[in-house]
Structure 1
Amino acid sequence: MGSPAPAAWSHQPSGIPNDGDIAYEPMRDRSDTYTSDAPGRGRSDTFSDEPPRYYDPSGTQSPPLANDHSRHVSQPTPFHENDFLLSDRSGAPTVEHKGPPPPFFRRGVLFFTATRKRVFTRLLPLILLLVGILAIAIGVPIALSQKGDSNPSDNNDNNNDDGTPIAVAANLLSTPVGSPDADDYDNTPRLIFAHYMLITPPPDHNYNPDIAAAQAAGIDAFAINYGGVNINPTTLQAELRNFYDACADHGFSAFISIDATSTTASGDQIKPEEAADLFNMFAGHPAQLKYRDAALFSSFQTTDTPWNWRDDVLTNLNTSVHLLPGTLTTDGDAAFNRSEADGAAGYFSWIHHFEDPHSEASIDASFAAIRNSTEHSPSGGTKDGKLKWMAPLAPWFYKNLGAHWATHQGPQMFLPRALDLLRRKPDYLQLVTWNDYGESTYFGPVNSNLTALCSGCYYGHLDHSGFLEMLKPIFRAYRKGDVDVTFDADDNDKENVWMYYRPHRAATGTVGTRPDAWDILQDKVYIVTFVAEDDTMITLTAKDGAGTKVKEQKMKVMKGLTVVQADWAKGNQTIMATRGEKTVVKAKTGPSIMDAPDRNGYNGNVVVV
C-alpha cells in the first residue's frame, strides 16, 4: 500500500481480490471538466456535473448518486471501464489498458496524484507509525538486555553510590620497594624452588597432589626441610625417602635443606655427620637436583652452626656438592665473605620479617651486589666463576606458637618485593614456604590433617592457594630475565582478580593478647588483579549475614598486574571484575570480616579468595 504505480501494465495481475463495495476514484478523461472552490487547491479545473458513480466489478455501473455539491470534491468521478489511460507527467498517453484497472494500482495512482496537502495528511500517520515501530525495535532489546544483565551494568556506572566518580586505584606496584634500576647481570638457568616442611606430611603421606600442584605452577624442585622440634631421625629419614621416591615417580626434583635448629626428643641438635650421611644417602637418587653434576644442598639456620660446613660436612661426602647454606644476616657482603671458609657455592638469604619493606629490599640489593662482583672465587662446584644467590619470597608472616608476632612488611613483602627481585635477578628463587602453616607462609593447599587436629587454629582453615596463582606471570618474567610483568594472551594468560585479608581487626583484644607489630597491620582488603585491558572495573561488596549490603566500593585498574587496597567493612566479602557490559571475572565470595575472632584467639593470618 502506498507504492507508486509502475510505468505500464499489460494485464490485470492475478490474485488481486475484488473490492466489491469499495469506491475508487479512477483517473479522469482529460475532456472532463471540473471546477473546484475547495480551499488550498491552488488550481481550477472543469469537471462534468454528471453525478458520480461507483465502479461495480460485475461490469455494470451503479445508479448515479444524488447531487451533493457539498461533498463533490471528494466523491468518485465517472469511470469508463473500457477507457483506462496511463499518462506521463506531460499528459501524453503512454499505454492504453482495456478493462478494469488493478485495485492496488488505482489506489497508488490516486495517492501519488493527490494534492500536496492530501499527500502530507496521508503520509504523516504512516511516518509516525514507522517511527514508533523503529523506537520499539530499538528500545525493547536494550531494555531486555539491561534487565537480563543487570550485574555488569550496575557495576560499570561512572559513579559510586554516593555520586563520586570512580577513580583508577593506586597501584602499590608503581612505587618500587627497592631501586627501580635493574642489575646488569646475566644468569641462566634461573630455577624456582618451594620450601617443604617434612615434619608436616600431607594426608595419608600422599605427596602426589603436592607434587602435581607444584609442577603445574612452574616450580622446578622442592627444597625439603629436614628437621624440626622433637624429631625422630629414623622416622624422618623414612619420610624423606618416601618423598624422594614420589618426586622421582613424577619426574620431579628435590634437594635436602638441613634444618640446623632441629632438636631430637632428648634435646640434641643435628650433628654434622648426620648431615653428611643424609647428603650421601640421597645424592645419587633419581629425583636429586643437580647443578652441573653437583648435588644441590642447602640449609635453614638462624645463626652460625657450631660446626664448619667445609671441614665437618663436605670433607665427608663421596660426591661433589653445590652447597648454598642459609643465613639470616642482613649484610650480603659479610655472608659471601665466608664462602671460601664454608666451601659454599653461594648463599640462601631468608626473609627478615622484622624489617620494613625498604630495608628488606636493601638487604636483597646487598646480596645481589656482592654476587655480581668478581671479588670472591666460588667454591662447591660452580665451575663458572660466579657465586650463586638464592633469594626467598614469602606471601605473609604471622606466628602464634610460643612466640607471637606479625610481619612488619604488610602487602609489600609479597608482590612488590617479587617485582624488586626481578630487577635483582637472583640465581634461584625459593618460595618460603609450601606448607609452614605455623608461620602462615604457606603457598600450598590447606592440610586437612591440621584442620581436623585444630579446627579453630589460625593455620587450619585459611586458604592461600591464590598466592601461587598470582605468581604465574612473575615466574615467566623471572625465567626470561624480564623486569616487567605483562599480560600475554599468546601464553594462555587468563584474566583474574584475587583478594586477601585478615578475618578480624588488628586491635582486637587487649595489647597483651596482640602480636608484636600489631600496630603496623592495616585493616585493609588487598586486591590483586591481572587483566588484559585498562579501565577494568573492580567491585568489592560487603554484606551482613542477612545478605544486606553494608558497603560497596568500586575502582578501576589498569591492564597487567596490579595490587590495590580497599577499606575494610564487616561482613562477607564479594569481589568481581567487569569491563563495559562484559563480566571479566565472575563474583566470588570470601569469609566474613568480624570485630572479634570466632576461633581460638587472635588471628593475624590472611585468607586468599
Structure 2
Amino acid sequence: MKLLLALAATASVVFPSVQAAKEVFAHVIVGNVRALDNADWEDNIKLAQEAKIDAFVLNIAAQDESNEASLQTIFQAAENLGFKLFFSFDYKAQGAWPKEAVIDHITRFGASPAYFKADGEKPLVSTFEGPENARDWTEIKTTTNSFFVPDWSSQGPEAAAGLADGVADGLFSFDAWPTGDTNITTKSDLEYQAALGERAYMMAVSPWFYTNLPDFNKNWLWRGDELWDTRWTQVMEIQPDFVEILTWNDYGESHYIGPVREKELGLFQTAPINYVDNMSHDGWRKFLPFYIEQYKTGAAPAKFEEGVAAYYRTAPALACENGGTTGNNEDFGEVEEAPEGFNEDAVFYAALLTSDEGATVTVRIGETELTGAFTTVPASGAGTAGIYQGSVPFGGNSGDIVVSVSRDGQVVATAEGGKPLGATCEFDIQNWNAVAV
C-alpha cells in the first residue's frame, strides 16, 4: 500500500541505532505460493541469487492455513542453497497476528541458518501495517531478541517512529509509487530519514502498479513509466540502510519481478481478465546486479556485460474500454482520474553501457523500425559507465517489439521475446500491466 501522509507529533524518547548494512530484499507473498514445490523454490532462489538479492521477505497472513507447509518448503530450499529469509507479518490481509503466534514463528524459524540476522545477530522482522498492535512488540522483541523494522505507513513517518515509545528499530515505507502523471520523488524518503534519525530506514523500490480484482475491491493504477530505473537512481541518492523490492510475486498488483508460474495465478479465476499470464517481468531483474553493487559500494562496478532491457504495455490506451480502472485511489487521499494519461503509449528502454559514445538505439515494432535516443544519462554524466534510458512512442504501429543498441555499426545488445504490441486489446477491456524483457 501507499504511504498516507498522516504526520503526528511524538514524545521525546531515546531511540536505538543501527549500523548501515546496505542489504537488498525482495517481498514474497506466501499466500500465493501454496502450490509451489521444492524445485520451484530452488528456481526462485537461484534467480534471486543471480540478481544479487540478499534475502526474501516472507509476507505471511494470520489465519492462513497454508503458511506452515509453505514455510517448511521455502526454508528447506533456502538452507540447501545458502540463501536468507525473514518474516513480514501481515496484519491486514486476514486480521491482526496474536502476539504468541508471532513469538512462536520467530523462535522456531529464527533458529534456521537461513533466517536473516541484522548485524549478524538479531533476527530481522517486519510487518505489513499493524500499528494498533505496536505495544505487542515490546514483549516480542525482548523474547526473541529481534530487530524490528515494520511498515506502519498508514501512520506517516513521525507518528510511526514514536509508536509504543519508539519500539521500532527502524521503519519500512511502502511509498514506492507516484501520484498522478508525474515521476516519483524522494520527498517521503527524506521525511522518514528525518523522523528516524539514527534508526534504520528501509526504502521501497517497485517497477509498476496495476490491479483489477473485484473480489478485493481493487481496480486502479499508479504511473509506472520510468519508475524502476528512476527509483534505483533515488536509492543511490538516499543511501538507505536497507532496500526492499516490491515485489517478487504480487501478481495481483502487477509489481512482480519473479517468474510467472501458472500454478500461482489462482486469484485471477474470478477477475475480469488474467492480466499477468504471458506478461513476463524478467527484464526488470536484468540490471539488478549492477544497481545493487552500485548501492552497496557507492561506485559503478568495474566490470559488467553491456545490455539492454525494455518494457511496454501491450495495447494503446484508447484501444478499448479502460475496465473501470482509475488512475490514483481515493482511499489514499488521492483524486481519482482517467487512467489513459498516466502511462504513455511508448516502448521504454534502459541500456547498461560502458559509455554512450557512438551508441545508437533502434526500436522495431512489427515491420517498422524507429530510431531512439537516450534522454536520461547516469548521474556521472554522458560518456561514463552506467544505465542510459529513453523511449519511443507506439506511433500507431503493432507487432513484435525488438530493441537493439549498436555502437559503430555493431550490435551491442538486444531485448526481445515479449508479448507483441497489439493494435487492439487482447480482451474486452484494457490490460494496464506491462511486459518487461
- What band does the TM-score fall into relative to the shorter chain? 0.7 to 0.9
Q: After superposition, what is the alpha-carbon deviation per residue over 1:483-507, rounded to whole angstroms, capped at 9, x for unaligned? A: xxx4x5x42x111111100111223
1:324 aligns with 2:149: yes
Residue 236 (structure 1) aligned to one of 67, 75, 94: 67
Aligned 1:95-110 pairs, distance under 5 A: none
Residue 393 (structure 2) aligned to one of 567, 578, 602: 567
Distance 2:184 2:165 in 1: 28
Q: After superposition, what is the alpha-carbon deviation per residue over 1:231-272, rounded to whole angstroms, capped at 9, x for unaligned? A: 533x31221122112111111111111011132xxxx54323
Distance 1:399 1:205 in 2: 29
Aligned match of 1:131: none
Distance 1:284 1:394 in 2: 31
Aligned match of 2:248: 434
Aligned match of 1:219: 53
Residue 363 (structure 2) aligned to one of 514, 536, 540: 540
1:348 aligns with 2:183: no
Question: How has the CA–CA distance of structure 1 residues 256 and 246 changed in structure 2, closer, same or farther, with 3 Å as cutoff?
Answer: same
Aligned match of 2:31: 199
Distance 1:516 1:194 in 2: 26
Distance 1:305 1:191 in 2: 28
1:396 aligns with 2:208: yes
Give aligned pairs, total: 389
Other structure's SS at 2:124 match = strand
Identity %: 24
Aligned match of 1:141: none
* Unaligned runs of at least 5 residues, structure 2: 1-17, 329-338, 376-381
> How far is the alpha carbon of 1:426 from its aligned partner?
0.5
> How far is the alpha carbon of 1:443 from its aligned partner?
1.1
Question: How has the CA–CA distance of structure 1 residues 334 and 306 changed in structure 2, closer, same or farther, with 3 Å as cutoff?
Answer: closer
Distance 1:454 1:332 in 2: 34
Question: How has the CA–CA distance of structure 1 residues 358 and 604 changed in structure 2, closer, same or farther, with 3 Å as cutoff?
Answer: closer
Aligned 1:21-420 pairs, distance under 5 A: 188-201=20-33, 203-206=36-39, 207-227=41-61, 232-233=64-65, 235-263=66-94, 269-292=96-119, 293-301=121-129, 304-306=131-133, 308-311=135-138, 313-314=140-141, 317=143, 319-329=144-154, 331-338=156-163, 341-353=165-177, 355=179, 360-371=185-196, 373=197, 386-402=198-214, 403-407=218-222, 409-420=223-234
Residue 602 (structure 1) aligned to one of 424, 430, 435: 430
> How far is the alpha carbon of 1:450 from its aligned partner?
3.9
Q: After superposition, what is the alpha-carbon deviation per residue over 1:334-383, rounded to whole angstroms, capped at 9, x for unaligned? A: 33233x62521111111353635666410011112334x3xxxxxxxxxx
Whichever residue aligns with residue 442 of structure 1, its letter is Y
Contact 1:275–1:313 under 8 Å retained in 2: yes
Distance 1:438 1:343 in 2: 32
Aligned match of 2:352: 530
Whichever residue aligns with residue 275 of structure 1, its letter is V
Other structure's SS at 1:305 match = helix
Contact 1:296–1:322 under 8 Å retained in 2: yes
Distance 1:573 1:341 in 2: 54
Question: How has the CA–CA distance of structure 1 residues 365 and 453 changed in structure 2, closer, same or farther, with 3 Å as cutoff?
Answer: closer
> How far is the alpha carbon of 1:510 from its aligned partner?
3.5
Question: How has the CA–CA distance of structure 1 residues 567 and 433 changed in structure 2, closer, same or farther, with 3 Å as cutoff?
Answer: same
Alignment TM-score, normalising by the size of structure 1: 0.59
Other structure's SS at 2:186 match = helix
Whichever residue aligns with residue 368 of structure 1, its letter is Q
Residue 370 (structure 2) aligned to one of 552, 568, 593: 552
Question: How has the CA–CA distance of structure 1 residues 410 and 587 changed in structure 2, closer, same or farther, with 3 Å as cutoff?
Answer: closer
Contact 1:309–1:343 under 8 Å retained in 2: no
Name the Cα RMSD after superposition.
2.7
Distance 1:251 1:587 in 2: 31
Larger relative contact order (C-alpha < 8 A, sep ≥ 6)?
Answer: 2
Aligned match of 1:513: 324
Distance 1:281 1:598 in 2: 47
* Unaligned runs of at least 5 residues, structure 1: 1-185, 374-385, 544-548
